[in-house]
A = this chain, B = another copy of it.
């Protein structure tokens, strides 16, 4: 029965969350009962989409939920052995007991760290893949705009678009991230929106307009995209982080009337929209990662105490690539 620390939400933040909205709670996790396993989490994920759940979704004074990668330390369930690594939804805690139906066993891919299953080869990458190919109806030679292009989803989306033969412009919020996108990831154009207003930057860069916008931001980024969209353009709406710290998670958009004469489609989506693409995604992405055609970055905070700071940091642009918290291992 290991001692475990876990993060509770203790207050519902208005605006940007603060560390005082969270509390580290020490608890004792029971041994696995029949049919269960005891898991020690090694890494947990923090995601922008967690912000709306702080307002409405997560229970107060309960351990929060989120994606994590853990190692089985005790097994009383068929098919699970001590040492197996499992993806699970029980982030924000060091240990937990659960049944097999909540766990996905992870097989190591040679030459890649296990954590790729938490981003490029996991839900994050799959969201980018299906969002671009199915929701955005990506075609070769499309002009593509990806916002938060140095983020976990954005960086994968931008690289998939490049691999599929598109011209790609990305936006990001620091010179360090802009350099990574231009020099290592190889985007055709990069806009640092803290230096150049996004609308002007996009208009200057996308001289042939935009056919597909992969939106993670909403607000001014979406307005800028709408001002540059080509006829019959598609906007795949993955997230709208610009509004996540506003009351009701509201983001303000002013140029939406542009979609009428442009005959433009905006489509909000989750991975539920393209579950059938999962095998194709795993096949292609494994190859791209091995070949180094898809690059990734991880920003890793250490220890469960740092989880609130990591989550808050997403809204301060502290991450390049996937933001993770290392809990053990």
Contact = CB atoms under 8 A, between A and B. Distances in A.
Given A261-B270, A268-B264, A240 B256 contact: yes
Interface stretch (A60-68, A244-252, A301-309): A244-252
Given A266-B266, A267-B265, A268-B264, A237 B253 contact: no
- Count the copies: 2
Contact of A251 (B237, B254, B268, B273): B254
A239 interface: yes
Interface in A256-285: 256-270, 272-273
Interface in A231-245: 237-240, 243
Main secondary structure of the interface of A (DSSP, over half): mixed
Contacts of A261: 268, 270
A218 B250 CA distance: 16
A4 interface: no
A268 B260 contact: yes
A255 interface: yes
Please classify how large the interface on chain A is, using the bins under 10, 10 to 19, 20 to 34, 35 or more: 20 to 34
A270 B257 CA distance: 12
B251 A252 contact: no
A270 B265 contact: no
A80 to B, nearest CB: 32
A248 B227 CA distance: 11
Interface of A: 218, 222, 237-240, 243, 248-270, 272-273
Instruction: State the 9 A-B residue pairs at the shortest beta-carbon distance, nearest first.
Output: A259-B268, A260-B268, A240-B257, A266-B266, A250-B254, A265-B267, A253-B253, A264-B268, A249-B257
